[in-house]
Amino acid sequence: MFYGCKTSGVTFDLHALLREIENMFRDRTDSKGLRFKVLGINELPSYLVGDITKLRKVIINLLGNAVKFTDRGYIELRVIIKNEQQDRMRLLIEVQDTGIGIADEEMDKLYTYFEQTESGRLNKSGVGLGLAISQNYVNLMGGEITATSCIGKGSLFSFEIDIKQGNAGELTSKPHSRLVVGLKQEQRIPRVLVVENKKENRDLLTKLLQTVGFDVRDVGNGMEAVEIFKQWKPDFIWMDIRMSVMDGLEATRIIKATETGRKTKVVALTAHALNEEKEMILAAGCDDFVRKPYREDDIFEVMEKELGLKYVYLEDQKKEELAVTVSKLTFEQLKILPDEILVELYKATLSLDTYRVAVLIDQIVRIDASIGLTMKIFCETLDYSRLLFFLEEIKSRKEENHEQS
């Protein structure tokens, strides 16, 4: 059962999507010595109307399984358009590998929650929730995943979905947001000052920036911001506008009146941003503003623009290199994770309540950004098996610490 999970149709760039996915898997296949090809791109229309989010996740899941179970040979992603009428087409996706294969008698377990094939047990790859979820996504898009396989020779997974042709003028969605996980090494680490009246908001933004690698300090009002600015000389300031003691506009005027301040980027955080307030924000010297509530994308995009930053994204790294391991978590990290949230997240994952899972992980990000982002990585790649295992390990470590204390 999927709660809050709907299929939606937007115009998207199919060629860009396939290139993004190809780049995402290229390092992983190269590191295993596998030949990896994406076939059929040149024969496809550039723009389609469909559910890009679900389509992307399903293709990533199928390719992820192919890489996981293939140690030699090749992996191919083939994309074909059938029934080429603008208002009624079928998009055929095929993922073929030369991996370990699946026995005939185990094929019926592929899309069953918590069932595991012998191949999965040998590979120690978990319960395979990702494939079950992918089947649900494809069903919602008007298709069904089918598979053929031969032990020792490989597997072929394919699906067809309803699709329509679009055009560039109808593009309504931004390119798929990529999860920022770090700063590229060839650049200086910027100093960032977070000025935010509410402590919970201040802590959330500070932890988000620290996790990516910024050098961050935070204060709760404009007067403190001016003092820290004089001593620390940050490169970038996130400035809340409405604060006690001294508001953000006055603090910005004081900072921007100095020689150092004129070189410092100040971006306002505001819940209002009406035309009059926009003018006041810019007149005070702010370089830009972001409306509350903001998304992670908003934060990183503005900082990229103002500071000329280069980020490391999730698809640039192997998941194993990014995920924090439970064995490395400190006692304090484990102690502050509320048991009730962890239990609720475990139950939501088991019931495949994807909306609730996302909400709970956002809560964990506010408590500990490194743990929360690890969980986000598992969800981004539909690796719910790893998420469950991760939660079980956290529970075990917390119980061990409780017994020792």
CB 36 within 8 A of CB 29: yes
CB 292 within 8 A of CB 239: no
pLDDT score at 216? 94
φ/ψ of 35, rounded to 5, equals -80, 130
pLDDT score at 108? 67
Q: How does pLDDT run across 43-73, given as a tens digit for each residue?
A: 888 888 888 878 988 898 889 888 888 999 9
pLDDT band at 9 (very low <50, low <70, confident <90, very high): confident
User: Do 166 and 261 fall into the same domain?
Assistant: no
Q: Which domain holds residue 221?
A: 187-309
Cα-based torsion angle of the residue sequence 150, 151, 155, 159 in order, rounded to the nearest 10 degrees? 60
User: Do 297 and 380 fall into the same domain?
Assistant: no
Q: How does pLDDT run across 328-387, given as a tens digit for each residue?
A: 777 888 888 899 999 999 888 876 677 788 889 888 877 887 788 788 877 776 777 778
User: Do 287 and 341 fall into the same domain?
Assistant: no
φ/ψ of 191, rounded to 5, equals -90, 130
User: Do 159 and 194 fall into the same domain?
Assistant: no
CATH number, domain at 123?
3.30.565.10
pLDDT score at 21? 86
Tell me: pLDDT of 112 over 90: no
pLDDT score at 1? 27
Which range among 15-24, 206-215, 280-289 has the greatest average pLDDT?
A: 280-289
Residue 73 lies in a domain: yes
CATH number, domain at 204?
3.40.50.2300
Please, which residues have CB within 8 angstroms of residue 260's CB and are 6 or more apart in sequence? 229, 233
pLDDT band at 77 (very low <50, low <70, confident <90, very high): very high
Pick from 20-34, 110-124, 150-164: least confident? 110-124
Of 309, 326, 350, the one marking the end of a domain is: 309
User: Do 242 and 342 fall into the same domain?
Assistant: no
Q: How does pLDDT run across 99-110, given as a tens digit for each residue?
A: 988 877 776 666
Residue 274 lies in a domain: yes
User: What Rg, from alpha-carbon coordinates, does the chain have?
Assistant: 24
Of 145, 170, 195, the one marking the end of a domain is: 170
pLDDT score at 352? 65
User: How many independent structural domains does the chain possess?
Assistant: 3
φ/ψ of 304, rounded to 5, equals -60, -45
| Higher local confidence (pLDDT), 53 or 115 | 53
